A and B are shown apart, each in its own frame.
Chain A
Amino acid sequence: MYSRKNQRNLTRTEKKRLVGAILELKRSGRYDEFVSLHRQYYVTDAESRPRPAHMTPSFFPWHRRYLLEFEKALQTVDSGVTVPYWDWTQDNTPAASLWAEDFLGGNGRAGDRQVVTGPFAYAEGNWRIRAGVTDDRFLRRDFGRPSAPVTLPTKAEVDRALGDPVYDAAPWNSLSTTGFRNRIEGWGIRGVRGVGNHNRVHRWIGGSMAGAASPDDPVFWLHHAYIDLLWTRWQKAHPRARYLPDRAPAAGDPQRGRIFALDDPMPPWDAKPSQLLDHSRLYRYV
């Protein structure tokens, strides 16, 4: 049992140890395996393959397990490290301590969007992007995407999602207009709403975080820890609500074989959503 803290409350030493453990995973090649895994499981809802990670009810449990695996890897380097969370409704400017030199470094520079400050700056020599979307080996960020401005989601937007009493709804994909899951995952739906919460944060950071290799930016983990916390908050707000769908779609349902019901094992861990609903014996959010 350990605690995941709000990143704004980390001490200098805690930040240093977390960064150190991340850099060690990068050095050993383990980090890039996590990046590849996320890319590999990016399956869209136009495909007929199973999609455990995105545009799908199991968005929350899949990423919960993914974070747990990453955290376990960090802890093999430094047993005292956990993944902190970034509440982007609160720390919502480029001036936040999250982006300081002693933590994740700041925005990318003009032109090539290269991150040039902090421990993940290319010139530091410890953060080379492998098999990224571009030829460049450096981490890219483009806060707020000035070319087509994006803002971080507000607390009101998160609260609206938390207020939905139903976990997820048909068609169980990126077009689900109701349900907590897609309100947080945040797919834009024509005529209904624009890009929201989780997806909009990826866009706001931009660069590496906007693309196929988004975990190349270590902020990925802090963002997803907050998403994970929001799931817990939603469960507390709706104690009678359950994960949906609770059983596999019926024969003939277009989503059959493509989404993961409560007891369907999710690759690559063969973990069922039902095994990931309660994290209270593993960690807690403080």
Chain B
Amino acid sequence: MDPTTATDGTTATAVPPADTPHSPDATPAGAPGRHRPARRAVLRTAFTAAVVAGTGGVLAPVLFKDPGTPGRGERRSQAPERFSERYRGRDIRGGVSGLVPAGGQARPGEAAAASTATVAEVTIDGRPLHVMRRADGSYLSEVNHYESFPTLLETARAAVDELGTAQLSATTPHTI
């Protein structure tokens, strides 16, 4: 499978294209995640995984390995990812949960209309780690904004590595 195609399919998102490019409605201006249900819906598409009806919720793109990422225990599970472990003394948990209807239609030319969206959630010592996705389905976190990881587990471990003994903020909006 070509990961690029697969994942552009994943982002075939839930939100119909705006009629005019860069309409004010679609700009990221304003505090993300703080207002309007519409914004929430838009942001949630960041997590729209390749959960096409009938594929059993396989996060296909996530199974590829980023060559720029040092080995951190690749996951080959075919099920949606879920983990809970102690890593360098920290309690890390995560998983894909909260299946929500994505609504909307795929854009023409994009494969694999996402009919269902998932929400990825990761915590470190109980505090939420904000995660995002790239077009290839890999994950980024607010702690590592300039590299991505094939799995949520690697994303969480890398965040612990970067944090050292620091705690994630309890006050800034991490979750969408």
Contacts and interface: CB of A to CB of B under 8 A. Distances in A.
B8 A135 contact: no
Interface stretch (A3-11, A119-127, A203-211): A203-211
Nearest to B148: A188
Contacts of A200: 146
A16 interface: no
B110 interface: yes
A281 interface: no
Given A48-B45, A212-B145, A214-B145, A40 B28 contact: yes
Interface stretch (B51-59, B75-83, B164-172): B164-172
B68 interface: yes
Contact of B109 (A48, A110, A193, A254): A254
Interface residue range, chain A: 35 or more
Interface string B33-52: 00000000011011010000
B39 to A, nearest CB: 9
Given A48-B45, A199-B146, A268 B29 contact: yes
A120 B94 CA distance: 35
A49 interface: yes
A134 B167 contact: yes
Interface in A177-193: 186-193
Interface of A (DSSP majority class)? loop
A271 to B, nearest CB: 12
A121 B130 CA distance: 27
Contacts of B48: 46
A134 B141 CA distance: 13
Interface in B148-174: 148, 150, 158, 161-172
A202 B146 CA distance: 7
Interface string A256-286: 1100100011011000000000000000000
A171 B11 CA distance: 13
Nearest to A45: B135
A46 B10 contact: yes
Contact of B7 (A46, A136, A203, A265): A46
A133 B169 contact: yes
Nearest to B3: A190
Contacts of A252: 107-109
B67 interface: yes
Interface in B81-140: 107-110, 130, 132-138, 140
A77 interface: no
A46 B133 contact: yes
A111 B140 contact: no
Contact of B28 (A41, A191, A253, A264): A41
B64 A190 contact: yes
Nearest to A134: B166
Contacts of B4: 171, 175
Given A173-B135, A268-B29, A46 B11 contact: yes
A35 B173 CA distance: 15
Contacts of A260: 22
Interface in B1-17: 3-4, 7-8, 10-15, 17
Interface stretch (A91-99, A141-149, A157-165): A141-149
A199 B17 contact: no
A247 B6 CA distance: 26
Interface in A182-240: 186-195, 198-200, 202-203, 206-207, 210-212, 214
Interface of B: 3-4, 7-8, 10-15, 17-18, 20-23, 26-32, 42-43, 45-46, 48, 64-70, 72, 107-110, 130, 132-138, 140, 142-148, 150, 158, 161-172
Given A48-B14, A257-B22, 13 more contacts: A46-B48, A46-B137, A47-B42, A47-B132, A48-B45, A49-B26, A55-B134, A133-B142, A134-B169, A145-B162, A148-B158, A252-B109, A254-B11
10 contacts: A49-B42, A112-B165, A134-B168, A171-B8, A188-B148, A193-B67, A199-B146, A203-B144, A207-B162, A210-B143
The 6 A-B residue pairs with the shortest CB-CB distance, nearest first, are A194-B68, A188-B68, A199-B146, A46-B133, A212-B142, A147-B161
